Structure 1
Amino acid sequence: HSDRSPIWPPGVQASLSHTDGAAALAVTRQPLCIGVDIESVMSPRTAEETAALLMSDQEEVRLRALPLPFSQAATLLFSLKESLYKALWPQLHQPMDFPQASLLEADIAAGKAVLVLNHSFSAAFAAGMRLEAEFLLEADRVLTLLTCPAAGNKKPAASPFR
């Protein structure tokens, strides 16, 4: 597309991401918004320097309480918000800034997270909407996936992240 987003075949919703030596692709024919992201874990210095841009004070407290190095937790947050942006972009075609969504919880053992929209993008994606995501953590990479029903489709789907 002119916005540099991929053009998928009719009836296919998909998301693509890549980082140093790795790529991720999530594809479905279900009526879902789908966003996948893969990131190399940022350096401790980068995590500290970008914290104010990526997260609220409350999110920083949540991330520092996780049983992870802060750089890995900050990368997780960045990746979750990137997956959210990628999932919503095809429905909204609106830019999203990091403060427009927040991490409410992250269960490291289960690989699950909950985000909330802090901004109303549309009637279907309004402030207060909670979105669930899944993630995999590796020593040097973070992989995240967020899916939610497409606007007008209220039927939840089974988890596609396996």
Structure 2
Amino acid sequence: MDSYSTVFHLWEDRHKDCKLTDIMEVRFIELPKFRRAKPDLGKPLDRWLVFIEDSPEEVLEMAMREEPAIARAEEVLQYLGSFDEIRRYYEAREMAVHDEITRITGAREEGLREGIEKGIEKGIQKGMEKGTFQMKAGIVRNMRSIGVKDEEISRLTGLTVEEVESII
């Protein structure tokens, strides 16, 4: 959906024209979509979202002129912001949110670093196994060229007779 606001009502399942109530609705607002849209201050919802989103002062003033309740809400926020205890609570909450983001980011970076290290170790291990096999293959060819039987080559190299035969 392109709209930043969706509204749902409660309907009877079999009779879609029968709404349970006109009093209740569920409204979802996607703020990232609203931020990309140009607010229409003619709409009450857009005026309130301008207030919630901490918009530029001139936009907020226009919204408050159109919607006196927004001006009252701004006064209440200013009043509450004057209390040191409330401000400290707000700042502590903001700090906790930032700490959590930092913790998650650090954990992701640590996990990525650990994954890279294990991947490198595994790659080196596979490379060594491959190198060991290549070295044994060279030994198998040399032993065969001087007439050593496959069973004896198998016993000396630790390869199966089938592996010895596949190398040759």
TM-score (ref. length: structure 1): 0.17
Whichever of the two has the greater Rg, that structure is 2
Say which structure is richer in strand.
1
TM-score by length of 2: 0.17
By percentage of residues, which structure has more helix?
2
